[in-house]
Amino acid sequence: MYKILKKEVLNPTVTKLVVEAPFVAKHAKAGQFIILRVNEDSERIPFTIEDANPETGAVSIIFQIVGGMTMLLNTKEEGDYIHDFVGPLGKPSEIDGNKKVAIIGGGVGCAIALPTAKAFHNAGADVTSITGFRNKDLVILEEEFKANSDAFYLMSDDGTAGEKGLVTNKLEELIQAGEKFDEVVAIGPLIMMKFVCLTTKKYDIPTVVSMNPIMVDGTGMCGCCRLSVGGQMKFACVDGPDFDGHQVDFDEAMSRNKTYADFEAHAREKACN
Ligand code: FES
């Protein structure tokens, strides 16, 4: 059982939990994830590690309350316990301190993008972060991104926070203004990552995306998290979650993501009753 050390509401639909998990904390690297079960009979759900402290054994995850399991997880409070908390899983992100990188985070994907920005920043890379949200009420981790970036841009769809527009608008504006990025890392909704990749492809900028499909075992056994990358089948849990964004079949990934929509709606209903 894993104790919740701290619970923080980041916005009405996004919560941060700090969990006591010393083994995970000791071994976690940027880009890796854990799989947890809230109770013994709960579904397994993957979450990227937002932060890990090997000294205190504390591991942070940030999640959006979107379905039955995340609603259940959100009922847990400081001092409560989570049944399983397994990890770190997946391959760590490749961090190169000599690069000039643009880190793009969309919505709750910013929770995954932040540790990557932090890792590049700590390694000495030149980090430009661009985060995007629908409106000001959904903005998270602004100060944390500023602290780990050489340049930071906040975008919102309706202009109520930062500049009005999409993350791709800002990225293209910077490229056209002469910024020379060695690499772009995009983490967020599939549709956002797809359009970041279409943008960077025009300018031939290597682009890494973090894929977060539905997962079950997280060890490459069930095939649930499969994706097409460069025409080959890959498993996000063991081959990723980071992939060459220009090779990912986003349309297929979006269609697979919808497969369980009915089950999810049912689970949400059950959790509400
Ligand atoms: Fe089962 Fe990846 S979650 S193979």
Residue 268, token pair as written in the block: 């949400």
**ipTM of this predicted complex?**
0.98
Its pTM surpasses 0.80: yes
The answer to whether the CB of 235 is under 6 A from ligand 1 is yes
The domain segmentation of the chain, as residue ranges, is 2-89, 100-257
pLDDT tens digit string along 238-267? 999 999 999 999 999 988 877 665 655 555
Q: Contact, 174 vs 149, CB < 8 A?
A: no
Phi/psi for 206 (5° steps) reads -50, 135
Using one digit for the tens of pLDDT, what is the confidence trace for 101-117?
Answer: 999 999 989 988 999 99
Nearest CA to ligand 1 atom 4: 220
pLDDT in tens, 39-73: 988 888 888 898 999 999 999 998 888 888 889 99
Pair 148, 117: CB distance under 8 Å: yes
**Residues in CB range of 176: below 8 A, 6 or more apart:** none
Cβ pair 79, 104 in contact under 8 A: no
Burial 159-185 (b: 16+ CB within 10 A, else e): eebbeeebbbbbbbebbeeeeebebbb
Q: How far is CA 27 from CA 55, 118, 172, in A?
A: 11, 17, 36
Q: Is 91 exposed, middle or buried (0-12, 13-18, 19+ CB in 10 A)?
A: middle
Residue 223 Cβ contacting ligand 1 at under 6 Å: yes
Binding-site residues from annotation for FAD: 62-64
Q: How far apart are CA 19 and CA 52, in angstroms?
A: 9
Residue 221's Cα: distance from chain center in Å? Answer: 23
Grouping H, G, I as helix, E, B as strand and the rest as coil, residue 173 is helix
Query: Measured in angstroms, how far is the CA atom of residue 154 from the centroid of ligand 1?
Result: 34
Q: Is 217 in the pocket of ligand 1 (CB under 6 A)?
A: yes
Q: How are the residues of the chain apportioned to helix, strand and coil, as percentages rounded to the nearest 5?
A: 35, 35, 35
Give me the pLDDT at residue 147, please.
Answer: 96
Alpha-carbon span 273 to 267, nearest angstrom: 10
CATH 2.40.30.10 fits 2-89, yes or no: yes
Distance 32 CA to ligand 1 centre (A): 14
Task: Specify the amino acid at residue 172.
Answer: E
Binding residue positions = 62-64, 222, 225, 237
Mutation probe of ligand 1 site: the residue of 36, 44, 217 with most atoms within 8 A of C-beta: 217
Q: What is the mean pLDDT of the chain?
A: 91
Rounded Cα distance, 40 and 29, in Å = 27
- Record the tokens describing residue 158, joined without a space: 């309706």
- State the average pLDDT over residues 118-145: 94
Rounded to the nearest whole angstrom, what is the distance from the C-alpha of residue 160 to the centroid of ligand 1? 39
Q: How confident is the model at residue 15 (pLDDT cuts 50, 70, 90)?
A: very high
Mean pLDDT score, 205-222: 88
**What's the fold here for domain 100-257?**
Rossmann fold (3.40.50)
